[in-house]
Structure 1
Amino acid sequence: MKQKILVKVQMHCDKCRTKALKIAAAAYGVSKVSLEGENKDHLEVTGDGVDSVRLTGLLRKKVGFAAIVQIEQVKAGNADDGENPITIEYTSSASYYCTPQCPPMYYEVVREYPQPTCSIM
C-alpha cells in the first residue's frame, strides 16, 4: 500500500531542512521526499509501508517539533478510476512553542587553592 504522508516540522534554517530531509529519506520504504508549504515547513514523504509514527518520532528527536498533518493512500493504477483516495487528516488544538535547541550555559570560576595569607612566607 503506497501512501503519501504530510508532516509539519519546525525548521529554522537550511541546516534543519537538510537534516529533516536526510532523516526522512533514510526511513524504511521511502521513495520520495520533498518540502512543501509556503514557508517550506511541511515534509511530504511518499513510499510503500512507511511507519508515520516512527518517522515523526525520529524527526522530533533529531530536528524539533513534528506533527502528522495528513496521510493519504495513493493508488498504483490510473488516477482516472473514478475513486477518491482515502485521506486521513490530523489536527491538533494544542499550541506548541519553540524551545531553543541549545540552552545557554553558565559557568563560575572557582579557585581550588586560595592564595596563602601567612606573613612568614
Structure 2
Amino acid sequence: MKQKIVIEVPLNCTKCKKKVLTVCTTAEGVTAVKFIRDGKDRVEIIGEGVDAAQVTQDLRNKLKFAKLVNVSKLD
C-alpha cells in the first residue's frame, strides 16, 4: 500500500534540510521526499510500508521538533 506522509519540521537553514533528507531517505520503503514551504515548513514523504511514527521520532531526535500532520493512502 502506497502512502503519503506529511510532517511539520523546521527548515530554517541548509543544515536542517540535510538532516531531514538524511533521515527521510534512509527510512525503509521511502521512494520520494519533497519539501513544502507554504506558511509552515513541511516535508512530504511518499513510499510503501513506511513507518510514519518511527520517521517522526527519528526527526525529533535530530531536529528537536517534528509533528506528524497527515498520513494518507495513495491509489
Tell me the TM-score normalized by structure 1: 0.58
Higher-strand-fraction structure:
2
Match of 1:22 in 2: 22
> Using the alignment, how far apart are the partners of 1:30 and 1:50 within structure 2?
6
CA distance in 1, matches of 2:23, 2:40: 16
Structure 2 unmatched ranges of 5 or more: none
In the alignment, the residues of structure 2 paired with residue 42 and residue 66 of structure 1 have an alpha-carbon distance, to the nearest angstrom, of 9
Q: Deviations over 1:21-40 (max 9, x none)?
A: 11101101000001012257
How far the C-alpha of 1:55 sits from its partner, in A, is: 0.2
Runs of 4+ in structure 1 over 3 Å off: none
RMSD across aligned positions (CA): 1.3
1:4 aligned partner: 4
More helix by proportion, 1 or 2?
2
Aligned length: 75
Identity %: 39
Find the structure with the greater CA-based Rg. 1
Task: Mark the runs of 5 or more structure 1 residues left unpaired by the alignment.
Answer: 76-121
Distance in 2, Cα, partners of 1:67 & 1:40: 11
Could you tell me which residue of structure 1 aligns to residue 49 of structure 2?
49
Give a deviation string over 1:58-106, Cα, whole Å, max 9, x none. Answer: 000012200111111001xxxxxxxxxxxxxxxxxxxxxxxxxxxxxxx
- Please tell me the residue identity of whatever aligns with 1:54: Q
Query: 2:59 — aligned with what?
Result: 59
